[in-house]
Amino acid sequence: MAKVSLSSVLAPYTEGVLELELDVVNVRQLFQLLGQRFPDLQTHLEHDIAVAIDNEIFQDALLEPIARDSEVILISKIAGG
């Protein structure tokens, strides 16, 4: 089970849940499970969330693999000037 944490900025969309363990093999599955569990998070998963897998940030990487013992953190997507 991957250890999944959510940045505190997402608390309003997950009834305050910020840590959970999920059995997923990639980012797409992670988003599916989280979207089902927290419907308010769905739109954010689609448009403004990036994923740090073992502290490396991935943006728009639905097929990125998540290992069994990975630490996954959901954070805000980053743009720039």
Partner 1 sequence: MSTTLKYEEKQLKIVGTRPARPDGVDKVTGRARFGADYNLPGQLIGKALRSPHAHARIVSIDVSAALALPGVKAVVTRDDFAEMPDEMAPVGELMINFRDVTRNMMAREKVLYDGHPLAAVAATSESVARAALALIKVEYEVLPHVIDVVEAMRPDAPLLNENQYTQGVKPKPERPSNIAKRLEFGRGDVAAGFAQADVIVEREFNTKPVHQGYIEPQACLASYSADGQAELWTATQGQFVFRAQCAKVLQMDVSKIRVTPTEIGGGFGGKNNIYNEPLAIALSRKSNRPVKMVMTREEVFRATGPTPGANVRVKLGATRDGRITAAEAVLNFQAGAFPGSPVNQASMCAFTRYDLANVHVVGNDVVVNRPKVAAYRAPGAPIAVLGVESVIDEMAKKLGIDPIEFRLKNAAKEGTQTYYGPKLGPIGYVQTLEAARAHAHYRAPLGPNQGRGVATGFWFNIGNETTCSLNLQEDGSLTLLLGVIDVAGGSRASLSMMVAEELGIELDRVRPVIGDTSSLGFNFLTAGSRGTFAGGMAAVVAARNLIEKMRQRVAKVREVPVEAVAWKDGRAQPADASVAQFEPMTLTELARMGGKTGGTMAGHAEINAQGAGPGFGTHIVDVEVDRETGAVKILRYTVVQDVGKAIHPAYVEGQMQGGATQGIGWALNEEYVYGADGILQNPGFLDYRVPVASDLPHIDTVIVEVPNPNHPYGVRGCGEVPIIAPMAAIANAIENATGVRLTQQPFSPPRVLKALEGAGKAQG
Contacting residues toward partner 1, per CB under 8 A: 5, 7-9, 11-12, 43, 46-48, 52, 55-61, 63-64, 73-76, 78-81
Give the shortest CB-25-to-partner 1 separation in angstroms: 14
* C-beta of 23 vs 46, nearer to partner 1: 46
Query: How far is the C-alpha of 44 from the C-alpha of 36, rounded, in Å?
Result: 13
Give the shortest CB-8-to-partner 1 separation in angstroms: 4
Long-range residue pairs from 36-42, CB within 8 A, at least 24 positions apart, any chain: 38/13, 38/14, 40/12, 40/13, 40/14, 41/10, 41/13, 41/14
Give the shortest CB-23-to-partner 1 separation in angstroms: 21
